[in-house]
Structure formats: structure tokens, C-alpha cells
Amino acid sequence: MKNAFRFFFVVLLLVVVSTPAFSQTPVKGGSLMVCQPAEPPGLDPTANTAAAIDRVVYANIYEGLVKVDSGGGFIPGLANGWTISADGLVYTFNLRKGVVFHDGEAFDAAVAKWNLERAAVPENGNPHPEYFNGIEAIQTPDNHTLVVRLKSVDALFIAHMAEGDAVMLPMQGAGDAKSNPIGTGPFKFVKWVQGDRVEMARFDGYWNPFLPYLDRVTFRFIGDPAAQIAALKAGDIDVIGSIAAPESAMMLAKDKRFKVYAGTTTGEVIMSTNNKAAPFDNLLVRRAMAHAIDRQAVVDLVMFGYGTPIGSHWSPSTPYYEDLTGRFPYDPDKARALLKEAGYPDGFSATIKLPAIYSYSRRAGEVIADMLSKVGIDLTIEIVEWGQWIDRIFKKKEYQLTMIGHVEAWDIGIYAKPDYYFQYDSQEFRDAYANALKAPDEAGKSKWFGRCQEIIADDAVNGFLFSAPSLPVMKVGVMGWWENYPTIALDCTAVWWKQ
């Protein structure tokens, strides 16, 4: 009795603490129609990195040991909590009790071990086996304890355990995960009308008895931006997860029926630069370009003011962010002087290849071409199809400049690979990154991840432009939708309808 009382007291306290005074208490019931532009290629986040998959299933149908909360912090998912040994090598996860999959299978330490071991084998199709093959051994002293021993310290281990690649599948139903996902999440999969929508319904056996609030969630796939807005205005959909055209966000924000959040995401839009192609192999040239770009103007012209200027390859919504936007302030005179020093007193001509599928990329390309022309750099714009981009730019590195958004969080490690398409080769960065990965504590992580950001900013490896805005648009009655997207997900767990 005393325990029950204490439990209710804690719950009450949580509700009071987590609810701002002006908002109402969440109400149960109702259904939500969410628009997501791209249809996911399969529904298994452990088999493909496509963001569309995570946006539909992550935290809704599937959960991992660790979750990301709306503020970007790591919170307990299927693990109640975890401890890390002093040497940073052993992670002990205390798994939640009484967790079942939607098909009734129990989730326990054996299932978790099987999932982590399965993900480490490339033949099983996980696109990121490197997240898992640093694991030396996994022990299960009892049903609810998972002891993971790493081969070496990995500062991103918990971050990776919170990614879609590390969600827990049931041992029986894993084979059909692409078309019939079975997870432990608050919603269970109902059906996928291919080409149109994915439907899910509340899972009554969810481990948190207070969640979810909604009875049904449907993700509809509408690619055309004009059609998305028509569907929202006609009342066919309730939320557009992320609006593609920022100019329409402005228009919808003025409409009393809707609200728009201009939060942050994990994505960075950058002008990728081939560091081995002349004249961009010259540090002075890259720095001159960094001075020639007015980042706030790029945000204003390309994103209609939505988005945050960045100075390095790190989003403000990711922990350990360092604001380096002041490193190369907009200064065309300085840019011209640097170009002269580099041996290009009259500037030079170059080509920028823009992927046709991303409208922000084409717009930003035009704006940057104009800015660079003012310091004597004459850019020819070439629009390329996505397959061509993958082939010629990403794989064969046949390019000088391009423009693309990198959406994954914690992906600064790509600068440690000299054969990555930037072709950036710096021992100093590789050392700093290795130190960051080996950092055993918060202070160490903060120091070395900060150092990583500084090194690539100083080397002006790429044109660091802005962090993409989240821009969800919804009916005013939709409550609890995430304002920021610190991970790739459209988490509907705590969403509810205001009566």
C-alpha cells in the first residue's frame, strides 16, 4: 500500500514538473494523420539508412535500449538505465521488466544480446555494422541485465545505441521486419497500403501504462509540396512532419488554424568542397570563400529566415556544440585579399554541381554563386540527377563544389576518412577524433569533440552554411509535437489532441 502511494506520488510529481502551467493535461484518444513526403523503402530501420524509415517507425513502433528525448538528451528506452565502468569499457544495462513485443514475445536480455550480435554482421544487412563490431563480448547474468564489453573506449556507443540502427527486433518476427514491423513501441503496426500510407494503432501492452495518448496514427506519403498544403488546408491531414518549402511555412504561420515550429535538426547544409581539386586544395582559397559567404543572408534568401547559421560540421541541437560562426565573418575585402595572397588576384572560374532532387540545394547554389562572384570567383552551375550525384561526385569525386545536407547527428567522423568525397586529409583531425572517441568522461568528450569542430572550421574544409530547420506544421489542436528534431524521428508517443 505504501509502495502504491509512493508510486502515485512520483507520477503526480512528474506530471506537475513536466507540464508547463499554461497548458492543459493531456487527453487520451483520437487519431492523427501525419504527412511524410517520402514513402519509406521498407519499414526496417536496421536494414537501411533512409531517413523516411526512421521518421515513420522510430520510437513509434520500434525502440532501442536508449532513446533520444525532444531536447536531444539520451534517456532510458528499453533499458531503465545503464552504468559505465571506470575504464569506459563495460556498459551494464538494466533492462525494463515486463516488456513485450506487439506479437506477445517477451523482450529480455537474450533478445537484446541476439539483436546486437546480429547487427554486427554485415551479411545481415545493417548499414552500420561498425556501430556494433566494437563489442567484444555480451553477457547476460540474468534476464534483465545486459553486460556489454567493448574492445576499446567508444564515446559514441550510447549515441549509436539510440539510433534507428540499434532498435530491438523480436527473434521470431525479425525476418519480415521490412513489411510487417513488430516492435515494443507505443504503437503497433496495422497495415501498409503501399504507395499511400502506413497505419498504426495504440499498443495496450506498452510498458508505460500512461502512454500513448492517441488511439491511431497514420502516416500518409505526399511528395508534392503544393499537394501537402492542399491536404492540410482541406483537413485531410493534421500534421506535416517537415515542410519542404519554407515560403509556405511563413504563409501557414499567419493562418489561425495552424501553427508552425521553427526548431532545430541534426542536419547541416554544406557546400562540399573537393579538397584535392585545384584551386580548392589551397587553404587560402577555401578561407577566402568562407569570408565571402554571408551565412545569415543565405538563411534569409534560401530558407526565408528559418534555420541557424553554423561555422562547422555540427548542429546546435547536438551536445558539445561550439559556436564557430565568428571564425570567418562575412568580409568580401578580406576574401579578395586572401585570394590575391593565394595567387588569384583576378579570381578564377569553377563549377558547382547541384543535386536536382533538393530544392534548398539548388537555391543555395544560386545564392552562393552570386556571393562568390562579388570576390571574383565565377561559378558555373550544373544540375545533376541523384544517381549521377552518387556516382560522379560521391564515389568518383569528379567535382569541385557541390551542395548537400548531411542529416545524421554525430557524423563528424567522415572528416577522418581521407577517401570520403571531401578528400580532406588531416592527421591533426584524425588524432583529435580518435581522442574524442576514447574520451572516458564528459569533460574529455566536450574538449575533443569541440577540438574536432575547430580544426575543420579553421581548415575551411567545406562551406559550412546552416543547420536545417525542423519546420513541422500542424493544426492548432495538436499538442506535444516535437519542436526540435534532435534525432531522425517523428515521435508520436506523447502527442495528444486539445479538446
Partner 1 sequence: MTAYLMKKGISLTAVLFLVSLTVFSVLFVLPGDPAQIILGINASPETLAALRARLGLDQPFWVQYGGWIGSLLKGTGGHSITYDTAVFDLISSRLAVTGPLALMAMAIAVALALPLGIFAARHQNRPGDAAVMAGTQVGLAVPEFWLGILLMLLFSVHWGVFTAGGFPGWGEDFRGSLKALFLPALALGLIRAAILTRLTRSSMLEVLREDYVRTARAKGLKERTVVYGHALKNALIPVLTIFGLQMGQLLAGAIIIENVFTLPGLGRLVFQAIGQRDLPVVREVVLFMAAAVVIVNFLVDLSYAAVDPRIRLDGQ
Cell of 74: 539520451
Smallest gap from Cβ 421 to partner 1, in A, equals 8
Cell of 310: 553554423
Measured from the CB atom, the residue of 182 and 377 that comes closer to partner 1 is 182
- Contact residues toward partner 1 (CB under 8 A) are 39, 41-42, 48-50, 122-123, 125-130, 176, 178-179, 193-197, 220-224, 226-227, 230-231, 233-236, 357, 385-392, 394-395, 408, 411, 414
- Going from the C-alpha of 203 to that of each of 103, 173, 180, 185, the distances in angstroms are 10, 17, 15, 8
The sign one gets for the Cα dihedral 296, 298, 299, 305 is: positive
| CB of 490 closer than 8 Å to CB of 471 | no
| CB of 425 closer than 8 Å to CB of 275 | yes
Measured from the CB atom, the residue of 69 and 408 that comes closer to partner 1 is 408
Cα separation, 377 vs 370, in Å, equals 9
Please choose, from the candidates 184, 362, 374, the residue with its C-alpha nearest in 3D space to the C-alpha of residue 289. 374
**What share of residues in the chain are helix, strand, coil (percent, to 5)?**
30, 25, 45
Measured from the CB atom, the residue of 102 and 220 that comes closer to partner 1 is 220
| CB of 337 closer than 8 Å to CB of 498 | no
Measured from the CB atom, the residue of 273 and 493 that comes closer to partner 1 is 273
Cα separation, 106 vs 109, in Å, equals 10
Smallest gap from Cβ 85 to partner 1, in A, equals 27
Measured from the CB atom, the residue of 130 and 136 that comes closer to partner 1 is 130
Smallest gap from Cβ 386 to partner 1, in A, equals 7
Cα separation, 381 vs 72, in Å, equals 37
Smallest gap from Cβ 129 to partner 1, in A, equals 6
Smallest gap from Cβ 445 to partner 1, in A, equals 21
Measured from the CB atom, the residue of 220 and 286 that comes closer to partner 1 is 220
Q: How many CB atoms lie within 10 A of CB 179?
A: 11
Smallest gap from Cβ 176 to partner 1, in A, equals 8
Smallest gap from Cβ 28 to partner 1, in A, equals 26
Measured from the CB atom, the residue of 211 and 231 that comes closer to partner 1 is 231
